Amino acid sequence: MSTREVENTEERLGKRQKTGSYVIHYWDGVPGRAEYIRLIFEYTGTPYDEVKDNATLMTRVCDPGTVGIPPNLWPPALELPNGKWLGQTGVLVNYLSPKLGLAGYAKDDTDLDEDEKAYLSAKNAQLFFTVLDLFDEVHKVHHVVSSELYYEDQKAEALRAAEPFRAFRLPKYLQHFQSVLETNPANKDGKGPFLLSNLTTAADLALFHNLTGLEFSYPKRLKNLQESGKYELVFKLQERVQNEPKIAEYMKSNRRQQFSFGIFRNFPELDNEE
């Protein structure tokens, strides 16, 4: 770790201690799994900091002395304003969504009882984890044999894995989300579309992110699926979220890291119209 990086980290930690804001700990240089958390904070205007230091990340987020007990296994990890830590992407989403009004009901809602809120929150989590399943399948194509090996060392297998992904798996997910959007009564008369209730949820933000990533990784196949007209509401949701003022501003800011060598990679040899 360079001196400058140390200073940056200390500066950030200092800032955090003063503001008591959330801190995302993740790899530098790629949106990755942490992007689902960033989008939650950005959309809701929640202050957050990031510590991105690849040299010490794994020890930092996995060390019981730092993160408390029990420790985590993988990034991202989230440091809460009270100094406690949480790990596992979906757990972070599930923990933050109801607090920040992204679980299908407003933060200050007084009409629903606790059971109804818990159920909506679980439905948001159900949808989010289905989005994350798709994300994991994208990763699995280019790291098909093992995440312990380089892409170049498993390219033959990746070429084979990309075929059923493009032909069956990707359309299966798009069809599911299209069905979710078609059956949501809140989307009648061209409203939304929203995956759950008539509010933007963490699941909406996550699906937007996956579609943006798929445009980068599989531009030919995604264009072809879009032009089929079968998943109209799915692409309409992507457009809606992209045009939400806070998201539009974020996507243009330097806080948004570009797709490169993360989960969503562009290997032209893995893409095709089908």
Q: For residues 29 and 64, which CB has a smaller minimum distance to its own copies in the complex?
A: 64
Cα-Cα end-to-end distance for the chain? 44
C-alpha span between 35 and 26 (Å, rounded): 10
Would you put residue 124 in left (φ > 0), alpha (ψ -120 to 50) or beta? alpha
Q: For residues 177 and 259, which CB has a smaller minimum distance to its own copies in the complex?
A: 177
C-alpha span between 254 and 20 (Å, rounded): 23
Residue 229 CA from chain centroid, whole number: 25
Q: Which helix (H) or strand (E) holds 171?
A: helix 170-183
Tokens 């075929």 sit at which residue? 163
In the complex, what is the shortest distance from the CB of residue 226 to its own copies, in angstroms, rounded to a whole number? 20
C-alpha span between 235 and 67 (Å, rounded): 39
Q: For residues 6 and 167, which CB has a smaller minimum distance to its own copies in the complex?
A: 167
Q: Which helix (H) or strand (E) holds 25?
A: strand 22-25
88 binds its own copies per the rule CB under 8 A: yes
Q: Are 31 and 217 in contact (CB under 8 A)?
A: no
Site string for its own copies, 37-76 (x = CB under 8 A): -------------------------x-x----xxxxxx--
Three-state secondary-structure class, residue 13: helix
Q: Which of 56, 129, 171, 250 binds its own copies (CB under 8 A)?
A: 129
Site string for its own copies, 190-209 (x = CB under 8 A): -----xx-------------
Q: How many residues belong to the chain?
A: 274
185 binds its own copies per the rule CB under 8 A: yes
Q: For residues 52 and 143, which CB has a smaller minimum distance to its own copies in the complex?
A: 143
Amino acid at 94: N
Choose the stretch contacting its own copies; rule: CB under 8 A; options: 2-10, 47-55, 157-165, 249-257.
157-165
In the sheet that 22-25 helps form, which strands lie side by side, from edge to edge?
Answer: 48-51, 22-25, 77-79, 85-87
146 binds its own copies per the rule CB under 8 A: yes
Q: What is the dihedral of CA 171, 174, 175, 178, to 10 degrees?
A: -160
C-alpha span between 47 and 40 (Å, rounded): 11
Q: For residues 169 and 236, which CB has a smaller minimum distance to its own copies in the complex?
A: 169
149 binds its own copies per the rule CB under 8 A: yes
Q: How many residues sit in the footprint of its own copies (CB under 8 A)?
A: 51
In the complex, what is the shortest distance from the CB of residue 67 to its own copies, in angstroms, rounded to a whole number? 10
Q: Which of 119, 151, 216, 235 binds its own copies (CB under 8 A)?
A: 119
Site string for its own copies, 212-231 (x = CB under 8 A): --------------------
The contact set with its own copies (CB under 8 A) reads 62, 64, 69-74, 84, 86-88, 90-91, 94-95, 118-119, 122-123, 125-127, 129-130, 133, 136, 140, 144-149, 157, 160-161, 164-165, 168-169, 172-173, 176, 179-180, 183-185, 195-196
